[in-house]
Structure 1
Amino acid sequence: MKPTDAELEILQVLWQKGPCTVRQVHEELTQNREIGYTTALKLMQIMHEKGLLDRMEDSRSHTYSANLTEEDIQRTLVGRLVDTAFRGSASKLVMQALGQGKASREELDEIRQLLNQINPDA
């Protein structure tokens, strides 16, 4: 399931903060952009219907949590990106990403370690 950009913003809040009420998510979202409380509420209700969020109805205000991990969503999005934009070539994706020149020295070291784990004889 591919979340929209607005849904991803909400998921990021929940991944970072853990279970939250709509008000708590709304307060986090408004730090970066204007969004109405009812818009956040409606988005979260739709996300619950789609299975992206769990809703705990213990108290007067519902508490929501992400139903999928950040890694699950990243895997889905990257898989679709590789398939659609890079015709199934993971190496083209990596070359494009690294060609942007935005990777730090630490990130490049992590990438080298990962490559060594995948193919230690290379």
Structure 2
Amino acid sequence: MNKPTEAELEILSLLWEMKEASVRQIHEKLAETKETGYTTTLKMMQIMHAKGLLDRDDQNRTHIYRPKIKKGDTQKSLLKNLMTTAFGGSAKNLVMQALGQDNPSQEEIDEIRAFLDDLAQKKS
């Protein structure tokens, strides 16, 4: 799988949420949070299509793009790469660093604890 760049991930996350969109729709969403030109968004999405990250329906005048790669698969691949390169393959170090950077709410801590309890149960 082609690993998406940070800019490509931004577009992919919008498409995962929206399911499908035109370049204009994606550009308008991106423009809400950062300064970007329409032609830049268009070029990025054309490159992403060429890389196999997006499907494009060009039946109509306005091309409609859809994510070609799954969100979960992409997250797993990126996380595995990050864990290997930045944390020496240690899931513990990755999790400890992630939790140390954030101030999780009690609800998030309870969810994490329930997840860990479930993992421990599956191991025994």
Q: TM-score range by the shorter chain?
A: over 0.9
- Unmatched segments (≥5 aa) in structure 2: none
SS of residue in 2 equivalent to 1:92: helix
CA distance in 2, matches of 1:72, 1:101: 24
CA distance in 1, matches of 2:31, 2:47: 19
Alignment-mate amino acid for residue 97 of structure 2: Q
Question: What percentage of aligned pairs have identical amino acids?
Answer: 52
Shift of 1:102: 2.2
The alignment's C-alpha RMSD in Å is 1.4
TM score, norm. by length of structure 2: 0.92
Matched ranges for 1:66-77 at <5 A? 66-77=67-78
Matched ranges for 1:81-92 at <5 A? 81-92=82-93
Alignment-mate amino acid for residue 33 of structure 1: K
CA distance in 2, matches of 1:102, 1:63: 39
Aligned to 1:55: 56
Cα-to-partner distance string for 1:48-97 (whole Å, 9 max, x where unaligned): 01111010112111100111122121111110110000000000001111
CA distance in 1, matches of 2:79, 2:14: 20
Aligned to 2:36: 35
TM score, norm. by length of structure 1: 0.93
Aligned to 1:10: 11
> How many corresponding residue pairs?
122
CA distance in 1, matches of 2:88, 2:68: 30
Which runs of at least 4 in structure 1 moved beyond 4 Å after TM superposition?
none
Is 112-121 or 84-93 further displaced after alignment? Answer: 112-121
